[in-house]
Structure 1
Amino acid sequence: MAFLDITRLEKFYGTTHVVKDFNLAVEKGEFISFLGPSGCGKTTTLRMVAGFETPSSGSIRIDGRDVVNLRPNQRNIGMVFQAYALFPNLTVAQNIGFGLKVAGRPRAEIDERVREMLGIIHLPELGGRFPFQLSGGQQQRVALARALAIRPKLLLLDEPLSALDAKIRVSLRQEIRAIQKKLGITTIYVTHDQEEALSMSDRIVVMNAGVAEQVGDPFTIYNRPATRFVAGFVGTLNALDAIVTDPATGSITLDGQPIRLNRPIDAAAGASIGLALRPETLALGPRPETDGSLRGTVRDVQFLGSVLRVRVALDGQVVALDSFNTAALRPPAVGDAVEVSFATADVLVSDG
């Protein structure tokens, strides 16, 4: 049996169906991210695991024990919130040791654990400060240390980095992942930031309208999306429409231009199908490793720092492609006639 086993979990608020038939098995020590847009049910699912919300139906088992009817403080769970939730009148050390104090642990044990946690979060000299004397990133580290101090079986993080600036988010997510690996604690992480989920997770649960659309490792989620929603939500995507000309040979036309895919198509001749291509799989000009191409006109060029994004207009549809920015690169000009090449193996096909 999995360490965390969620089976047929449902949640209604009145007649609103917020979480629908949610199933997930999490192994001990895994780092799982719930990824999706606002209102998709990811935080509600997390709160049901924590005990802050009661499921309408379904079961939640932690280490073999059904916890649905247990209060949050009976589940041995550590929780980190978006807004830090530190006690302003307590020092950093007192905040970290708060859960242990409530549990009635001896003072010497609390002090030792607090020192250990201050070392783990790289703030060994700041135990005597108050929260208002810390930066946002430091406060969130303290919140993490407080959640871990009680040695929970399960760590839950609800968008803990969304209030921080971009550079601090990157460094702190690396620290959170390093700490999680060091301690080997099973972790559920809620985020709407796809980069966070892709860079931190062992597996990702992509949620949409209360449904887990796909569960998989980051490579699979990004490169082999199971639904059009996953393909569009995770990463940037060119969504295009094409017409099947010969399904047996994989022949199609896109805005009148013929393309032959590297596989048959499960659709009738004349049917409309959807295609999806990541911008990074496209290139300007022919390439030896590509077997597909389209011709069009440069509509605009966006400078994104390390990447140049070029948008090319076809006959009614537009494709975007990304290339690394280098000093020697001469970006195309708006209005230039260009060829866009790609490997047909990178083309994702869905129903029209």
Structure 2
Amino acid sequence: MSFLVLDNLQKSFGPVQVVKDFNMSIEKGEFVSFLGPSGCGKTTVLRMIAGFEMPSGGTITIDGEDQDRLKSNQRNIGMVFQAYALFPNMNVFDNVAFGLKVAGKPKAEITERVNEMLALIRLEHLADRYPYQMSGGQQQRVALARALAPKPRVLLLDEPLSALDAKIRISLREEIRQIQRQLGITTVFVTHDQEEALSISDRIVVMNAGRADQIGTPSEIYNRPATRFVASFVGTLNMIDAVVADPAANTVRIGDQLIALKEAIAEKKGGDTISLALRPEAGSLVDSGDTALRGEVLSSSFLGSVIRTKLAIGSNTVSFDMFNDPDLTMPAPGEVVTLRFSAGDLLVVRD
């Protein structure tokens, strides 16, 4: 049986329904990220799990126990917010100890647990400092330790890294994942940053307009997007318009060029327009892959580690990336080149 179950979860604020028929089962010790743009409902789902918002419909169970009748302080859930939410008049030790003191734990147990948590986040030497005396990254690590100190059943993180600069974000997200694995705590992480979600999650929920458009591993979400929204939101993707030539043979026409797809399109009719997706890194100018398209170079951009070239193929603009090589000659505008890739890399996008 799954540890955290969200069954037909719904939430409305007045006439506006912000979460619609949300269903998911999360295993004990799993790290799941809710990924999506602002306003898609991901934080609302998190707040319903925490008990800060009551569902308009559906149920939430943790370890088989219905949470709907429990207040937030009865659910044994730890939460880390975007804005740290540390008590400014308390030092690091007292901030981490706060939940344990509220729970009425003995002083010796509190001291032992706080010291354990400070060692976990490697800030034992800052126990006497106040929040204003620390960097943003240090404050967020203290917030994490405070959430973990009472040994919660579930850890919720609401965009905890968005206020930090890029370099600190990368190091802290890796630290959060390492701590989560070490403790084996079931974790739900909310973010709008696809790189964050892809790099640290066991599974990702891509949310769109209050619904889960796709739930899968990072590899599944990136390589096999299930909807047009997921395809456009996660990573850089070429969207290519094609016309079905022969559904039985899985052939399509892009401009005046005929190619065969690996994915079946038997439900289509000849002449139907379909959308195809191709990642920029799937294409190459070398003689590899089983599929080729000719195109005229529109531009080539030097991006450091890669060179991104844009081609005109029929009415489509298609980008592809090559790794930088000092001896490489960049394709010139107006040059006609052949883009090669595997048929399996060309995905049929179904809404």
Asked whether the two chains share a fold, i.e. TM above 0.5, the reply is yes
Question: Secondary structure of 1:98's partner?
Answer: helix
Q: Which residue of 1 aligns with 2:216?
A: 216
The residue type paired with residue 304 of structure 1 is: L
Counterpart mapping for 1:14-33 below 5 A = 14-33=14-33
In the alignment, the residues of structure 1 paired with residue 82 and residue 327 of structure 2 have an alpha-carbon distance, to the nearest angstrom, of 43
2:226 and 2:349 in contact (8 A); partners too: no
Q: Which residue of 2 aligns with 1:273?
A: 274
Q: Which residue of 2 aligns with 1:6?
A: 6
Shift of 1:44: 0.3
Q: Which residue of 1 aligns with 2:235?
A: 235
Q: Which residue of 1 aligns with 2:198?
A: 198
Q: Deviations over 1:83-142 (max 9, x none)?
A: 111111111111111111111111211111111111111112111111111111111101
The residue type paired with residue 275 of structure 1 is: L
Return closer, same or farther for 1:252/1:324 CA change in 2, 3 Å cut-off: same
Shift of 1:351: 5.1
5+ residue gaps, structure 1, are: none
Q: Which residue of 1 aligns with 2:116?
A: 116
Question: Secondary structure of 2:308's partner?
Answer: strand
Question: Secondary structure of 1:248's partner?
Answer: coil
Q: Which residue of 2 aligns with 1:345?
A: 344
In the alignment, the residues of structure 2 paired with residue 264 and residue 197 of structure 1 have an alpha-carbon distance, to the nearest angstrom, of 30
In the alignment, the residues of structure 1 paired with residue 314 and residue 220 of structure 2 have an alpha-carbon distance, to the nearest angstrom, of 32
1:50 and 1:75 in contact (8 A); partners too: yes
- Mean Cα deviation higher: 127-136 or 257-266: 257-266
Please provide the CA RMSD for this pair.
1.3
Counterpart mapping for 1:55-66 below 5 A = 55-66=55-66
1:314 aligns with 2:313: yes
Question: Secondary structure of 1:97's partner?
Answer: helix
Question: Secondary structure of 1:146's partner?
Answer: helix
In the alignment, the residues of structure 1 paired with residue 205 and residue 310 of structure 2 have an alpha-carbon distance, to the nearest angstrom, of 31
5+ residue gaps, structure 2, are: none
1:285 and 1:338 in contact (8 A); partners too: no
In the alignment, the residues of structure 2 paired with residue 134 and residue 196 of structure 1 have an alpha-carbon distance, to the nearest angstrom, of 24
Return closer, same or farther for 1:208/1:306 CA change in 2, 3 Å cut-off: same
Q: Which residue of 2 aligns with 1:286?
A: 287
| Number of residues of Structure 1 aligned to a counterpart in Structure 2 | 350
In the alignment, the residues of structure 1 paired with residue 276 and residue 296 of structure 2 have an alpha-carbon distance, to the nearest angstrom, of 20
Scaled by the length of structure 1, what TM-score is found?
Answer: 0.96
In the alignment, the residues of structure 2 paired with residue 324 and residue 308 of structure 1 have an alpha-carbon distance, to the nearest angstrom, of 6
Question: Secondary structure of 1:168's partner?
Answer: helix
Counterpart mapping for 1:73-152 below 5 A = 73-152=73-152
Question: Secondary structure of 2:314's partner?
Answer: coil
In the alignment, the residues of structure 2 paired with residue 87 and residue 326 of structure 1 have an alpha-carbon distance, to the nearest angstrom, of 52
Question: Secondary structure of 1:125's partner?
Answer: helix
Q: Which residue of 1 aligns with 2:68?
A: 68
In the alignment, the residues of structure 2 paired with residue 241 and residue 291 of structure 1 have an alpha-carbon distance, to the nearest angstrom, of 20
Question: Secondary structure of 1:188's partner?
Answer: strand
In the alignment, the residues of structure 1 paired with residue 263 and residue 158 of structure 2 have an alpha-carbon distance, to the nearest angstrom, of 42
- Aligned-pair identity in percent equals 62
Q: Which residue of 1 aligns with 2:161?
A: 161
Shift of 1:264: 4.0
The residue type paired with residue 167 of structure 1 is: K
Shift of 1:263: 4.9
1:36 and 1:206 in contact (8 A); partners too: yes
4+ residue runs of structure 1 moved beyond 6 angstroms? none
